[in-house]
Structure 1
Amino acid sequence: MEKQSIQLTPNARLVLEKRYLKKDTRGLPVESPEDMFRRMASNVASADLIYDKNADINSLEEQFYNLLATLQFMPNSPALMNAGRDLQQLLACFVLPVEDSIELIFETVKQAALIHKSGGGTGFSFSRIRPRNDIVSTSGGCASGPISFMRVFNEATEAINQGGFRRGANMAVLRVDHPDILDFISSKKVEGELRNFNISVGITDKFMDAVEGNLDFQLINPRVNSVAKLVNASELFEQIVRFAWKNGEPGILFLDTINAANPTPFIGTIEGTNPCGEQPLLPYEACVLGSINLSRMVVLKNEKYVIDWNRLEHVIQLAVHFLDNVIDVSKYPIHQIERITKGNRKIGLGVMGFADLLIKLGISYNSEEAIQCAEGLMKFFSQKANEASIRLAEKRGVFSNYPKSIYAQKGNQRYRNATRTTIAPTGTISIIANCSSGIEPLFAIVYKRHVLLE
């Protein structure tokens, strides 16, 4: 690719200056956007030396720089913030376990604070915590339940400013069979409550079968793994729907469906996701995300835009290389996260600017043609990301947990990364790239954007 000057909108420059660029002791930027992209490209390219001491990292740095500077690809925010700096924590998505113990709960609070400080977001399942009013044997008192501990995590998050970047973000998951599920569903009914959390109910196949049959459903005390009470499944599902309509939350996670696609089931069970829900992860696992700007993946032919499949394939290949390198150059907040993250090497390459792409192609977003375009596009996207990961595995080896993965059982797909693709919301990086966010439509043709910087 040829090196091009960076074309940034005023909003993009404002976001970069306030949140991403290095600053002096007075809070003033001491680098330009060009410097930031160069800092990141140089830092991430250096990982190639781990696998080949004669690697041409100068050439790779130029390729990475031009990929970023032309706004064709953007990694998750921590990579923009921290690459080549003291923090050097470059991953966005983390899931931490929450055990039924005061000591371990507050250890997790500390671990979450370290992650938030470095710009990452955290997901938790609170399903192991004993229900409210359950017995506490050591004191003879009553347990306060998972909702009370969610508030502790929320207040800790409120106190941590992510390196001057933004407040932390969390996902709270509670299994649908937990005795406190009704309290969880309504936990954000008051505006401002748990404002640093998204909440999702962990749905099981057993529960959905009970909903369809209008049957009673068992709520299980996780402390003793016994039935605490029975509820009507349809009525419980109606409560979920009602609050989702009223508040926009809770969301739902189909846990059995997620675990059916778990690439490393012998390593652990997936019980949570990152704050926006797009990346299911094992306890103590992290993932690096990045998104390709589809609005740039077009070429004019006969005075009409068409998808530039050659360019898209090249960018996918380079982006997979970039994200795999990030795993190696990143620092990790705690050793458990480093161990499982490097063991599985999950990456989440996604897209942004899909609505802009459709506009350029002359396709209405709410049309059958748009659905067909999306299906063809993402089939190609997934295939090429898989091929790029396989090529990396040929040079660098498969991820170390591969023998315990579903791919080893099938005996044919030798991937460098346990997962390759993820569609993220791309809230801030789409502002930098000046494109529509994720796969969302444009909600207005003309609008005024207010960039929240505090």
Structure 2
Amino acid sequence: MNEHPSPQQHASAPAFHVIRRNGSVTPFDQNKIAIAVTKAFLAVEGQGAAGSRRVHEGVEQVTEQVVSALTRRVDSDRALHIEDIQDQVELALMRGEHHKVARAYVLYREERARARREEVAAKAEGETAPSLKVRAADGSLQPLDERRLQALVDEAVAGLDGASAEPVLTEARRNLYDGITQDELSLASIMAARTLVEQEPNYAFVSARLLLDRLRREALTFISGHEDQATQAEMGSRYAEYFQAYVKRGIELDLLDPELSRFDVKRIADAIKPERDLNFQFLGLQTLYDRYFLHSEGTRFELPQAFFMRVAMGLALREIDRESKVIEFYNLLSSFDFMASTPTLFNSGTQRAQLSSCFLTTVPDDLDGIFKSIKDNALLAKYSGGLGNDWTRVRGLGAHIKGTNGESQGVVPFLKVANDTAIAVNQGGKRKGAVCAYLETWHIDIEEFLDLRKNTGDDRRRTHDMNTANWVPDLFMQRVEEDGVWTLFSPDETPDLHDLTGKKFAERYAYYEDKAKRGEMTVYKEVRATDLWRRMLTMLFETGHPWVTFKDPCNLRSPQQHIGVVHSSNLCTEITLNTSDTEVAVCNLGSVNLANHIHNGALDHEQLKRTVTTAMRMLDNVIDVNYYTIPEARNSNMKHRPVGLGLMGFQDAINILRLPYASDAAVQFADESMEAISYHAISASADLAAERGRYPSFEGSLWSKGILPLDSIQILDDARGQTVEVDRSSKLDWASLRTKVMQQGMRNSNTMAIAPTATISNICGVAQSIEPAYQNLFVKSNMSGDFTVVNEHLVRDLKARGLWDAVMISDLKYFDGSVGSIDRVPDDLKAIYATAFEIDSSWLIEAAARRQKWIDQAQSLNLYIANPNGKKLDQLYRLAWQRGLKTTYYLRSRSATHVEKSTLKGTDGKLNAVSAGSLGAAAPEPIRMPMACSIEDPTCEACQ
């Protein structure tokens, strides 16, 4: 047999062309693919295998896959770059499970690429490259400033281990052409750096710094009125002057609050730290560019440090020593030690300063009230609020309507209207409107409610865009545990159940059950509790909804149970505040970056105290400067002043500490870190009360009685008649803090809630919230595009052991970002870097239970199951209830098929939207996140 198939074996070659590395274009010849693949096989199998059937069939299979993939990707009028063809060969080898051959091919490509770079460098010493022209904004052509391009890339890689200018420049120059525009020139270097992220995570910083150059040119030109640009070094002396001009221009454009001009702007501008622009990774900066920075008709004129300073100024409007507080707030934000929520970042310092994240409403049982609630949803969503609606009061299907003497169509048709309203009001295109509907488990429409997200059935009774959640009383869980009967009612016949909790709910519920048995109820239905529970879990697995949240822990541990009832949580299940017809609950969020507070192998308690103290002041200020779209929200927020301080970067923190997520040590760290945040948050709120006064509804609250979140677990114990199974040990001086709270009072009715932080964690470059790592190498998708994400901590450890190379990258891609199946990765690293679906979700619940004992609200807790079944789901959600958790969030399940593999050398993200004709061929498909519902759901970002 020949070393490669004959041309006759592949007679139907596609008619497109190939761009060679020297820029020449030649017809595509698929026989060259067969030759290259054969050589790779023989490099592994040895020359003696040249005649083997195994090699022959392997070559045939891989060659056909490559040709088929290339034929689908381009038409006859397009050309492919040689690198893109080789990418497909590598991909086909991995798909065909030819692991050793794929490794040999990867190593061969790396060796040849290195040799070519050395050859190019040698030639460059004795040759002068032809001069390219760049097309200016006015259409004129100017010589490419090679010196500036070199200096720009040198500046971008400065101080970053593992990053160098040479590969960025080499890749960028490959995409240059005569007459390239200034924007395309900027994109070429950005794209070049991004292709290297999978090899070295620090190129995420390089690409961000190259993007900064583009942003500076855009902003400085807009502010000055003429073509202007500056290097990062030059901005050291220019930032202050720029900022003063920026404030003036923003006010002129009616984008900034004129009150900002009454600050000592020069003093504030002088406090800017230009070097902090270098702390961004590309995903964070791109996200800010797309959705956060102020712009005029699409032109961004707000640079990163101006952005943080603008937010800080907006939060300090009511401070006495305003400038000092602005600088304090700015330093906290720009250091990434703490980040305010997305609505605060969007709107602080603007003329419509709607800074609050979450709004909770309860919908009444009449047409005027229902449609007012839907209108309120629209008004609240307009300025970036996330919504949680309690629909339990609305009478069920078949209930009598006195006014018309007819029968109700139930809650579902109104939910359909609410769903469509959320889509219509999309927050100015910044992100989709987002709402979650809650219904108690005893409501007669609960079975139809479970079906809302199904893709089958009557579409008029489906809400494909609305999130849904079960509001589950403890009594139902107890009936499930004892395999008892559960009765469904219409709320117009059982109106008081909506407001009752604990033992009082159980007693009244039993009264209504007896009444139904006597035939004195019109609309009711008896079901087996375990059957309904199984259906709830089945729908949760099949559709991702409704989420499971627990009514009684939310109410019995609420500091505000003396003055109202928690009828639902919010969009992301971390807010637990009272609602009524006169009060729309509002919560103001921000998150501590836990990773930034790990030093010398431990949590830095002094730094954490400073961060939390300043953060609580910022969150409290939100309440006073906030723009309220409806009076019920203002009434509630001013009366109770709740805030929700959370955390992010938990996975990064335990990676730094070298703790596996699935370990007692990580659970203990979750306990320790949350105890510290809780202690300092409560203390800070008490200090604010001494300075500014107690919140108006303080008297009678659990706070006023010296009952702190840790103490409130006993209330839940008493109501259940059984002990909540959670460790209750503590390390800090809680006795003195109880005394302080009772004496000084609290400024805020609620102080803590852990939100998902999907977007603000991107800005800070850390893992979101309390989430385990999804994968160690993947492409993340959000509204700004697709972004390569590599676990920098894993790369650091693999480098230290001499294991980070092209083969490791190939293996990580093949095994979907998991190190668990890579033989040469040591077991200790496999444990530390286990991904979400490799961790038993019971560990997530145990860690969450430790946090919950310290939190006065709740936490957005996603659960992951690689191979779910009914028994696993049942055990998992029962465990969540037994441990006293207040809420759970998404159930994540792995897809049945493998994700698309790729070398990730293509383009991604909005800034790369340049035609393939000018900047190379189309990119291969990236690794996508396989699951029933997206890890970063853009509809959930109102909590971020």
TM-score (norm 2): 0.46
1:363 maps to amino acid: L
Q: Structure 2 CA distance, aligned partners of 1:249 and 1:214?
A: 23
Q: Structure 2 CA distance, aligned partners of 1:179 and 1:76?
A: 37
Q: How does 1:13-412 map to 2 (within 5 A)?
A: 13-24=285-296, 26-48=297-319, 55-190=320-455, 193-225=462-494, 226=521, 228-283=524-579, 284-299=584-599, 301=600, 305-410=601-706, 412=739
Q: Any idea what SS the aligned residue of 2:471 has?
A: strand
- Contact in 2 for aligned 1:171/1:277 (Cα 8 Å): no
- Contact in 2 for aligned 1:94/1:281 (Cα 8 Å): no
Q: Structure 2 CA distance, aligned partners of 1:271 and 1:182?
A: 19
- Contact in 1 for aligned 2:424/2:433 (Cα 8 Å): no
- Contact in 1 for aligned 2:344/2:355 (Cα 8 Å): yes
Greater share of helix: 2
TM-superposed deviation, 1:100:
1.1
Q: Structure 1 CA distance, aligned partners of 2:325 and 2:384?
A: 26
2:300 maps to amino acid: P
List 4+ stretches of structure 1 deviating above 6 A. none
2:318 maps to amino acid: A
Which residue does 1:419 correspond to in 2? 750
Deviations 1:192-249 (A, max 9, x none): 9524322111111221222122221221211122561211111111111111222222
Which residue does 1:52 correspond to in 2? none
What's the Cα RMSD here?
Answer: 1.8
Q: Which moved more, 1:362-371 or 1:434-443?
A: 362-371
Which residue does 2:46 correspond to in 1? none
Q: Any idea what SS the aligned residue of 2:439 has?
A: strand
1:34 maps to amino acid: Q
2:613 maps to amino acid: Q
- Contact in 2 for aligned 1:83/1:89 (Cα 8 Å): yes
TM-superposed deviation, 1:407:
2.1
TM-superposed deviation, 1:135:
2.6
Q: Any idea what SS the aligned residue of 1:280 has?
A: coil
Q: Structure 1 CA distance, aligned partners of 2:606 and 2:704?
A: 31
Q: Which moved more, 1:351-360 or 1:261-270?
A: 261-270
Q: Structure 2 CA distance, aligned partners of 1:129 and 1:407?
A: 33
TM-superposed deviation, 1:451:
2.8
Q: Any idea what SS the aligned residue of 1:231 has?
A: strand
Q: Structure 2 CA distance, aligned partners of 1:406 and 1:311?
A: 29
Q: Which moved more, 1:234-243 or 1:192-201?
A: 192-201
Q: Any idea what SS the aligned residue of 1:449 has?
A: strand
Q: Any idea what SS the aligned residue of 2:679 has?
A: helix
1:449 equivalent in alignment to 2:780? yes
Q: Structure 1 CA distance, aligned partners of 2:440 and 2:532?
A: 12
Which residue does 2:198 correspond to in 1? none
Q: Structure 2 CA distance, aligned partners of 1:242 and 1:427?
A: 27
- Contact in 1 for aligned 2:272/2:305 (Cα 8 Å): no
Q: Any idea what SS the aligned residue of 1:229 has?
A: strand
2:310 maps to amino acid: R
Q: Structure 1 CA distance, aligned partners of 2:605 and 2:464?
A: 42
Q: Structure 2 CA distance, aligned partners of 1:2 and 1:20?
A: 19
TM-superposed deviation, 1:111:
0.8
Q: Structure 1 CA distance, aligned partners of 2:703 and 2:605?
A: 28
1:433 equivalent in alignment to 2:733? no
TM-superposed deviation, 1:2:
9.3
Deviations 1:228-285 (A, max 9, x none): 1211111111111111222222212211111101212232111111101011122211
Deviations 1:56-106 (A, max 9, x none): 221111111011111111111100001111221100010112111111111
Q: Structure 2 CA distance, aligned partners of 1:61 and 1:168?
A: 31
Q: Any idea what SS the aligned residue of 1:430 has?
A: helix
TM-superposed deviation, 1:449:
2.1
Q: Structure 2 CA distance, aligned partners of 1:336 and 1:404?
A: 22
2:568 maps to amino acid: G
Query: Which one has the largest radius of gyration?
Result: 2
Q: Structure 2 CA distance, aligned partners of 1:399 and 1:253?
A: 28
Q: Any idea what SS the aligned residue of 2:602 has?
A: strand
TM-superposed deviation, 1:410:
4.2
Q: Structure 2 CA distance, aligned partners of 1:439 and 1:410?
A: 29
Number of residue pairs the alignment of both structures matches: 443
Q: Any idea what SS the aligned residue of 1:296 has?
A: helix
Q: Any idea what SS the aligned residue of 2:777 has?
A: coil
Q: Structure 2 CA distance, aligned partners of 1:233 and 1:77?
A: 40
TM-superposed deviation, 1:164:
2.9
Identify unmatched segments of 5+ residues in structure 1. 49-54
Greater share of strand: 1
TM-score (norm 1): 0.94
Deviations 1:346-398 (A, max 9, x none): 11101000100111111112111111111111111111111111111111111
When residues 264 and 59 of structure 1 are mapped into structure 2, their CA distance, relative to the original with a 3 A threshold, is: same
1:31 maps to amino acid: E
2:626 maps to amino acid: S
TM-superposed deviation, 1:141:
3.2
Q: Structure 1 CA distance, aligned partners of 2:609 and 2:469?
A: 35
Q: Structure 2 CA distance, aligned partners of 1:106 and 1:126?
A: 12
2:588 maps to amino acid: V
- Contact in 2 for aligned 1:327/1:345 (Cα 8 Å): yes
Q: Structure 1 CA distance, aligned partners of 2:295 and 2:463?
A: 31
- Contact in 2 for aligned 1:19/1:164 (Cα 8 Å): no
Q: Answer 1 or 2: higher relative contact order, Cα 8 Å, separation at least 6.
A: 1
Q: Structure 1 CA distance, aligned partners of 2:781 and 2:546?
A: 27
TM-superposed deviation, 1:137:
2.6
Q: Any idea what SS the aligned residue of 1:174 has?
A: strand
When residues 241 and 15 of structure 1 are mapped into structure 2, their CA distance, relative to the original with a 3 A threshold, is: same
Q: Any idea what SS the aligned residue of 2:493 has?
A: coil
Q: Structure 1 CA distance, aligned partners of 2:780 and 2:532?
A: 39
Q: Structure 2 CA distance, aligned partners of 1:409 and 1:373?
A: 29
1:241 maps to amino acid: L
Q: Any idea what SS the aligned residue of 2:361 has?
A: strand
- Contact in 1 for aligned 2:694/2:747 (Cα 8 Å): yes
Identity of aligned residues (%): 32
Q: Any idea what SS the aligned residue of 1:370 has?
A: helix
1:219 maps to amino acid: L
Which residue does 1:12 correspond to in 2? 284
Q: Which moved more, 1:254-263 or 1:27-36?
A: 27-36
